[in-house]
Chains A and B, each alone.
Chain A
Amino acid sequence: MIANYRAREGVRTGFIFTVTWLVVLVAVFPLFWALSTSLRDNQEIISRTPTLLPVDFTLENYDTMLKLSNFPQQFSNSTIIAIGSSLSVVFFGSLGAYSLTRFRFRGQALSLRVVLLTYLFPAVLLVVPMFIILRNLKLTDSYAALIIVHTATGLPLGLWLLRAYFQSIPIELDQAAMIDGASRLETLFDVLLPQAIPGMISIFIFIFVFSWGDYLWPLILITSRSQMTLPLGLHTYMNDMGFEWGPLMAATVVFALPVVFLFTFIQSRLVRGLGAGAGAVKF
């Protein structure tokens, strides 16, 4: 009886493992293939008998990408815009969440709903109005344009998530700080924000990844080569002459690195460090 049960349990576990690994393989294979391709020379890339690993290992594609394209410029553009948008969402989101959880004002519930509504709009619907607004402000083709748009589209999510975080902080903490002589702003910075750090980091990562990978808005708002972000830049490897697979894959690999770094390092450290006391990072 027991042996039978154990056997069935074993089969079950084996089945679950197999399925899980299959899904992981399907998800990871394109990334692996990009990495593998970026390390081959052109001859090998177009060869008719593909191999799993590069036969002649080479960094030539990375060299081409760095020297011949505008990659470093695009990388720094993307970094500035992604960090700018994330910080801006965290900043405004925290202030908004503070006021939504600590004050009562007319139309509070309504304002929250409206914010959520904007999040539910498909971005494409906003393309034309947003472009007109930014053109009138003479902001198109600039970092500011993308930071504003990414903040506007990311803020609803940031506000709702941070609001949940702020709600979980007992109001007595505010009151204790105020009795201790802190002003509202001091209360926010000394007492509340430290409790909301896990939430703020989650939002930061989330908005960073969104901004980093966004293709739609740079395509519409950026025209000059010097302002291009990485996703736009990747497109330049696909031109009239065909696909430059080697440099394209090299750029893709480097493009993916910051995100991979954010998720593996920061997030795992965060979950370990703060999970014990203040609640883990949730996505």
Chain B
Amino acid sequence: MMAKLVGRSANVRLEGLQKVFGKETLAVDIADMLIPAGEFVTLLGPSGCGKTTTLKLIAGLERPSHGAIYFGDQRVTDVAPGSRDIAMVFQNYALYPHMTVKANLEYGLKKHRVARDERQRRITWASEVLQLERLLQRKPRELSGGQQQRVALGRAMVREPKAFLLDEPLSNLDARLRLLMRAELIRLHHTIDTTMIYVTHDQVEAMSMSQRIAVMRDGRVQQYDRPEVIYRYPSSRFVASFIGSPGINMYEGDLLLHEGALRFVAPGVDLPLTGAVVERLNEPAATRVTLGIRPEDVLLHLETAPPDALVGRVTVVESLGPETIVTLETTLGDVTTRVRGMQPIDFDAQIPFSFDTAGLHLFDATTGDSILRPGVSTNAVKAFRPPVARVPSLVHQTQSG
């Protein structure tokens, strides 16, 4: 049942890819990007950043203004979408409304002249994996959103393509179903092991599903790496602020070298920088910097405080159950922190806090680029995700969506 498509999936390589709309608008400008065979890669960015256009270029629905696209060794820049051996899942699913589910799955196979027996085998396989067996004779409009979503996935699966292209496939689902389908997609990728290129503006989807993320802005790839590297060592202020929820705290100030010790100085704050952050610092070209610190790296001292702790006044307390998000008003500005569990924290209380210097980020205040070297090698591709044990029940409870 679980035929793997490993042998069929291919590297996707973008080379000097540019797309110009109209006369001036540079929608996509990617110098070089390799999507390794079998990986789940996400193009992440705000709307209008060129991520969907990039996907359409890979699909062949748009023609690049410059550059080339390779699947494996094969240059496909001028190959028609139907001959590229890819499949795409659209945001609105784009199921053929007048065809039954079965006919929807079968259409692409017929157009590719797949023999009848083989068509039947693949449809059976996909409808088992996605639990579509009882829906095969229905029309798309008789299906729920979640079911339509699965048919769209099935239509891509039966093609046994070199790569799956997914254009915000979860954004039309309600929050609960989106969470379920996220897990299903991870399982599906593990099951069929084919290259998946996923477009989203939702950083949670990107972080939770991908093996690599390309953070895009204004048509350019800002950073392309494994999710945990992007989270821990963002290459720019934009990447740092786009990833993580609640968002990273940022403060502008000056970097001072005084008596051999490095300090971050802002109005009312004089923070000595020690440890890892000093080792990773590039030649401090800029003295005007933005200091970034994620909420979990802000330490609240509810009982005893170290002598150099700063103090802030509690203005917001959000208890989420497993954690509590606390916002403090300080001389730096607002500081958002997260603490484990449900903490009895009073509004207006003065609470001492400090920064975990290992979690500090420093960016050039003018260019926004990180002035820290990454802490680990970010080039290695590792299968970091543990194997998923429960493969057979790919879909459950999604009937009601």
Interface residues of chain A, those whose CB is within 8 Å of chain B, are 170, 172-173, 175-183, 186, 190-191, 194-195, 276-278
Is B269's beta carbon under 8 Å from chain A? Answer: no
Contact A170 B111 (CB under 8 A): no
Report the interface size for chain B: residues with CB under 8 A from the other chain: 27
Contact A181 B108 (CB under 8 A): yes
Binary per-residue interface labels of chain B (88-104) against chain A in the complex, 1 for a CB within 8 Å, 0 otherwise: 10111011111000000
Contact B108 A180 (CB under 8 A): yes
Is B278's beta carbon under 8 Å from chain A? Answer: no
Contact B97 A175 (CB under 8 A): no
Contact B92 A277 (CB under 8 A): no
Is B276's beta carbon under 8 Å from chain A? Answer: no
CB neighbours of B83 from chain A (8 A) = 181
Q: Which of B61-97 contact A (CB under 8 A)?
A: 61, 80-84, 86-88, 90-92, 94-97
* Smallest Cβ-Cβ distance to A186: which chain B residue: B111
**Distance in Å: Cβ of B119 to nearest Cβ of chain A:** 13
CA distance A173 to B97 in the complex (A): 9
CB neighbours of B82 from chain A (8 A) = 178-183
Given contacts A183-B82, A194-B98, 12 further A-B contacts (CB under 8 A): A173-B94, A173-B96, A175-B94, A179-B88, A180-B155, A181-B108, A181-B111, A181-B112, A182-B82, A182-B111, A186-B111, A194-B96
CA distance A181 to B161 in the complex (A): 12
CB neighbours of B88 from chain A (8 A) = 175-176, 179
**Distance in Å: Cβ of B137 to nearest Cβ of chain A:** 16
CB neighbours of A190 from chain B (8 A) = 96, 107
The 5 closest A-B pairs by CB, nearest first: A180-B108, A181-B111, A181-B82, A172-B94, A176-B94
**Distance in Å: Cβ of A261 to nearest Cβ of chain B:** 26
Is B59's beta carbon under 8 Å from chain A? Answer: yes
CA distance A178 to B63 in the complex (A): 14
CB neighbours of B87 from chain A (8 A) = 179
**Distance in Å: Cβ of B16 to nearest Cβ of chain A:** 24
Is B178's beta carbon under 8 Å from chain A? Answer: no
CA distance A172 to B165 in the complex (A): 13
**Distance in Å: Cβ of B102 to nearest Cβ of chain A:** 14
Cβ-defined partner of B81 (8 Å) among A170, A175, A195: A175
